[in-house]
Amino acid sequence: MAGIRWPPEDSDLFPARTTAVTATDLISDDDRSVAADSWSIKSDYGSTLDDEQRHVDAAEVLSASNFRAASDYSSDKEEPDTNEVEPSSMLGLQSYWDATYAEDLVNFHEHGHAGEIWFGAEVMDVVVAWTKNLCGNISGAKNAAEDSSSKSELSNTVGELSTWSVLDIGTGNGLLLQELAKQGFSDLTGIDYSEAAIDLARNLAVRAGFSGIKFLVADVLDAKMDRKYQLVMDKGTLDAIGLHPDGPVKRMMYWESVTNLVASGGLLVITSCNSTKDELLQEVDNFNKRFGTQDQAQEGASEPADVFRYVDYVRTFPTIIFGGVEGSRVSTVAFVRN
């Protein structure tokens, strides 16, 4: 679930978001269907009691909005008829990603292919270089401003990226973690709810000489990790979650989940082709308003504070102008966990 697989254009960097893809193109191929059936689904959305309760809680919040009620959607466990599903929503189903990565895994074993780089190699390179600089700047600033008594988990860094704990959610084939390893990060973990994706990522990492990268089968919406991370990367996972038939509810669950994955003072870096920078900022603001007061109340604070705070965004993606508005087809935005 590392990203959205859009049909290629003249430019490989920015895939088109408006090209129609039929449901038949996505899931009717016999080989892919067989491949998907060969993988057991270990972490479906809504598969645990806690997850179901969070689903109910999120649906209650949405009941006052313009979204359809959660009960109006089909679940991932009872997948709707492909003829009735909008093409884009297939990318929000785990069965699609299981089939995709099972096919990629077969191609790896037979031909040595690594699979696709979501959003293109140039976007990944930009994100990795920008993230490296951001982490270095934060480490340097904290070491200069804070003394040894600081409680921030980032204060232990001394400008060396090897000290940062990194989690890539929806890691897919794990190539993003390999690029981060080349830049000096070494405490690297990737999770994905597709067992085939994790199998592929492990094989690719070993082949490239990065056997130290850890890969786990886990659903970001219900990940039971034994630690929190100073840097959490999301390259396309929030996009895919939003394309699930229960997208609005799942996105709310996403923010609650990542809150428990990012360490205090840690960074969340999101790369999206479906949300602009301003849309991501608005989504975080809405989350802060819903859960900020509750979070602070549990800690006994006198005043509520934002759970996530905006830090910076990538300015170097090429831009386009449409309708008099200038923007980019890909957005990368960083938030700090308070």
pLDDT for 314 equals: 96
pLDDT digits (tens, 9 = 90+) for 105-163: 999 999 999 999 989 999 999 999 999 999 999 887 766 665 554 444 444 443 478 99
* H/E segment holding residue 62: helix 49-62
Q: How confident is the model at residue 251 (pLDDT cuts 50, 70, 90)?
A: very high
How many residues are given for the chain? 338
Determine what percent of the chain is predicted with pLDDT higher than 70. 63
Q: pTM for the complete prediction?
A: 0.72
* H/E segment holding residue 271: strand 262-272
Lowest-confidence pick of 36-45, 143-152, 219-228, 268-277? 36-45
Res 19 pLDDT > 60: no
Higher pLDDT, 315 or 66: 315
Average pLDDT score over residue span 158-181: 91
Domain boundaries, the chain: 16-338
Query: What's the CA angle centered on 7, arms 202 and 121, to 5 degrees?
Result: 45
pLDDT for 118 equals: 87
Res 267 pLDDT > 70: yes
* H/E segment holding residue 331: strand 331-337
Helix, strand or coil, per DSSP, at residue 110? helix
pLDDT for 264 equals: 95
pLDDT for 317 equals: 87
Average pLDDT score over residue span 218-229: 94
Q: How confident is the model at residue 305 (pLDDT cuts 50, 70, 90)?
A: confident
pLDDT digits (tens, 9 = 90+) for 38-94: 333 333 333 333 545 555 555 554 444 443 333 333 334 344 444 444 445 789 999
Mean pLDDT of the chain: 77
Average pLDDT score over residue span 6-12: 41
Average pLDDT score over residue span 242-259: 94
Res 12 pLDDT > 60: no
Average pLDDT score over residue span 194-206: 98
Which fold would CATH assign to domain 16-338?
A: Rossmann fold (3.40.50)
| Long-range own/partner contacts, residues 274-278 (CB < 8 A, 24 or more apart) | 274/4, 274/17, 274/239, 274/242, 274/243, 275/238, 275/239, 275/242, 275/331, 276/327, 276/331, 277/313, 277/331, 277/333
pLDDT for 221 equals: 96
Average pLDDT score over residue span 159-170: 90
Res 7 pLDDT > 50: no
Q: How far apart are CA 286 and CA 280, in angstroms?
A: 10
Provide the sign of the torsion angle of the four alpha carbons 100, 22, 237, 253, taken in this order. Answer: negative
Q: How confident is the model at residue 291 (pLDDT cuts 50, 70, 90)?
A: confident
- Residue 224, classified by CB atoms within 10 Å of its CB into exposed (0-12), middle (13-18) or buried (19+), is exposed
CB–CB of 229/262 below 8 Å?
yes
pLDDT for 89 equals: 77
Lowest-confidence pick of 11-15, 77-81, 213-217, 295-299? 11-15
